[in-house]
Amino acid sequence: MSKKPKKKKRSVVRDPHYLYECSVQSTDPDLDFAEKTFRRRFGRPFRHLREDFCGTAALACTWILRDEANRALGVDLDGPTLAWGREHNVAALGEAEDRLELVQDDVRAVSRPRVDVTMALNFSYWIFTERAALLDYFRTARRGLKPDGMLVLDLFGGTESMMESEESRKIDASVTFDGTRVPGFRYEWEQARYDPITGAFVCHIHFKLRDGTKLRKAFSYEWRFWTLPEIRELLLEAGFEEIEVYTDDWDDFLDDSNGVYRRRKTFDNEGVWVGYLVAFR
């Protein structure tokens, strides 16, 4: 009787930072948007980027490799996450590493060197739950921009955005910034609690791997849910000259965003929408 062939072990990657970069971050589309918007406004490319709440600095590292003239500054308060970014992402830059600076500090404490564009993505600035704290951050962000500079934020909203809910989607296999191959896995987003009195908003990210392993609460967030009008008003109060709003188009066939962001003066509310706010100094 012939022996049954042994089943190959299913390859998995359990590092939550790799899983986050593959499922949450979209560095190239985000940078494409920033470059297009800056060029339309100022008629030239920008060269110096600041990534606030940079985490593993994936966005800053991607920017560095786009052009030999590009420079970047990354700011984050979390030492271990920055250390991971240095080991895995910054190290992959090779000699280009000299054009990237990472700073471990509160983003409200760093306003130099001045840059062309600051980006604070993945709703990270929602960590400021008090109005005064968020205003302080926006004022610091403005001081850190050159005269022809812009701040790019992302945000979401809609009739279902404050409800307790869970969303699950399959993430295809991909290769990370440092060349690590990450097999497909499942990403789960949980909106666990929203308090309509304080705006307190608790969310979690879970990952389910190919071998059945589930990483529950791989990342957890205790935010305040900031609405678009609130953020616009705070940006103007912080001294920004003009605010532009961009939201995604919806594909009814896919029942999902088509990834195209258009400038809006007004738009119809939906269950959930995602957008960018661009503030010009």
Give yes or no for a contact between 74 and 104, defined as CB atoms under 8 angstroms apart: no
pTM attached to this predicted model = 0.93
Could you give the CA distance from residue 41 to residue 30 in angstroms, rounded to a whole number? 17
pLDDT of residue 7: 47
pLDDT of residue 11: 76
Burial classification of residue 70, based on how many CB atoms lie within 10 Å of its CB (0-12 exposed, 13-18 middle, 19 or more buried) = buried
The token duo for 63 is 């920017």
The token duo for 40 is 């339309």
The token duo for 151 is 């701040």
Closest CA to 153 of 226, 204, 95: 226
Give yes or no for a contact between 155 and 275, defined as CB atoms under 8 angstroms apart: yes
pLDDT along the chain (281 residues), means of 10: 49 94 97 98 98 98 98 98 98 97 98 97 98 98 98 96 96 95 98 97 98 97 98 98 90 65 92 95 95
pLDDT of residue 251: 61
Closest CA to 281 of 144, 161, 188, 156: 144
pLDDT of residue 76: 98
Closest CA to 180 of 10, 61, 22, 57: 22
The token duo for 134 is 């968020």
Residues 119-129 pLDDT 10s? 999 999 999 99
Residue-by-residue DSSP string for 173-187: -EE-TTS-EE--EEE
